[in-house]
Each structure stands twice: as C-alpha cells, then as structure tokens.
Amino acid sequence: MHDDIAEILVTEEEIRAKITELGEQITRDYQDKNLQLLGILKGAVPFIGDLARAINLPLEIDYMAISSYGNTTQSSGVVRILKDLESPLEQKHVLIVEDIVDSGLTLHYLTDVLRQRKPRSLRICTLLDKGRERVKAQFVVGYGLDYAQRYRNLPYIGVLKPTVYLEYLENPQGQHKGLAE
Ligand code: IMP
Ligand code: MG
C-alpha cells in the first residue's frame, strides 16, 4: 500500500495539529449554538471523528452519502444522494465536514439541497482544497481519501503514483498492485 505513494503531502503530525487548531476555532465560533456536524461519507469519516473530539461543545453528528467519482479520478458531474440525514435541520447550525473540494460541484449541489431545509446557518469545513497550491492537480489518498475504495486507512495524506490509476483504467477487471489483494 505505501509503495503506491509517490510523496507524502500531509503527515500525521500536520493533520493532528491542523485539527486541534480547527477544533479550537469551531469551539469559539459555535459557543451557545446548536451545532450539527454533517459528515460526507465515506471520505470524511476519520476527519469528522478526530475533529469532533477536538471541539469542546455539545454537538450532534449525522452523515450523508452522495455519489461522486466511481472508480475514476475525474468528477462525473452527476451527484446523487445515496443516504440522507436522519433528522430535520431547522434550528440547527450546520457544519458540513468534507474530505476534499476539487471542482466544488459536489458541495455546490449539496449546499443547494440543504439550504432548502432551512438550517439556522450552513458552513463548510474541508480538510483539503484543490484550489490551494499544495494539492493542485494531484490525486491524493489516505486519511479517508480513496482511490477505487482503497487507501482510506493510510494515516497520512499522500500523492498516488499515476501508474496505479493508469494501470487500473487500462484494465479495471485485472489484478493491480495495491488494488488486487
Ligand atoms: P468535486 O465535486 O469536484 O469538488 O469533488 C469532490 C469529491 O471528489 C470529494 O468529496 C472526493 O470524494 C473526491 N475527490 C476529489 N479529489 C480527490 C482526490 O484527489 N483524492 C480522492 N478523492 C478526491
Ligand atoms: Mg467525498
């Protein structure tokens, strides 16, 4: 698994430090507010778990699943809700917790849908943003982020070697390093 990574982009220590900082900021911003963390399955699972523990406030956690890429590295443009929330959002201050924003299409669609449910406020907390220099035009995996459902359990965020997905695109049925076992 580690052999498929070209470069470590964000180390475990850097992730931990950033989450501590985010937790403190969210704790300040949501004092006396009814905070609802909304995790986007599956990529945001490790992040929301660590983030929730870094927030020193009462809060609720719920999840939505939306379709994104399938087994490719390009956004399909088609977004569907696969699993919806369990309770209404009225009276809640909703903070969407997402792993990565690329084109922004997924979150654009999602915020449109959620706004119709009339939350008190709606904000986004994303771990990575492809508009930023560090992650630009690279496909990254680890700490929840996947390629073809693999690599989510890497403790750091790394750049996937292009050979891994090129090999996969050429022969999706075949056996691949990192995807076969
Ligand atoms: P967007 O709709 O183009 O912003 O794509 C966002 C979604 O695509 C994220 O929620 C991720 O699930 C996925 N995604 C985008 N870039 C990457 C990446 O580099 N690695 C893993 N997943 C990614
Ligand atoms: Mg995602």
Q: Does the model's pTM come out above 0.85?
A: yes
Q: What average pLDDT does this structure show over 166-177?
A: 69
Contact partners, residue 54, CB within 8 Å, separation at least 6: 19, 20, 22, 23, 24, 26
The pLDDT tens digits of the residues spanning 34-65 come to 999 999 999 999 999 999 999 999 999 999 99
Q: What does the pLDDT read at residue 165?
A: 82
pLDDT at 159 over 90: yes
Counting ligand 1 atoms within 8 A of each CB, the residue from 99, 156, 160 with the most, and so the one to mutate, is 99
- Give the chain's radius of gyration (CA, Å): 17
Counting ligand 1 atoms within 8 A of each CB, the residue from 102, 125, 134, 160 with the most, and so the one to mutate, is 102
Residue of the CA atom closest to atom 5 of ligand 1:
102
The dihedrals phi and psi of 177, each to the nearest 5 degrees, come to -60, 125
Q: What does the pLDDT read at residue 74?
A: 62
Measured CA to CA in angstroms, residue 110 lies from 8, 40, 78, 123 at distances of 30, 10, 12, 12
Q: Which atom of ligand 1 is nearest to the CA of 44?
A: 10
The pLDDT tens digits of the residues spanning 120-157 come to 999 999 999 998 777 778 899 999 999 999 999 999 99
Q: Which ligand is closest to the CA of 129, given by its number?
A: 1
pLDDT at 160 over 50: yes
Amino acid at 30: Y
> What pLDDT band is residue 181 in, cutting at 50, 70 and 90?
very low
Contact 68, 115 (CB under 8 A): no
- The residues annotated as belonging to the active site are 102
Higher pLDDT, residue 34 or 175: 34
Q: Which ligand is closest to the CA of 104, given by its number?
A: 1
Contact partners, residue 180, CB within 8 Å, separation at least 6: none
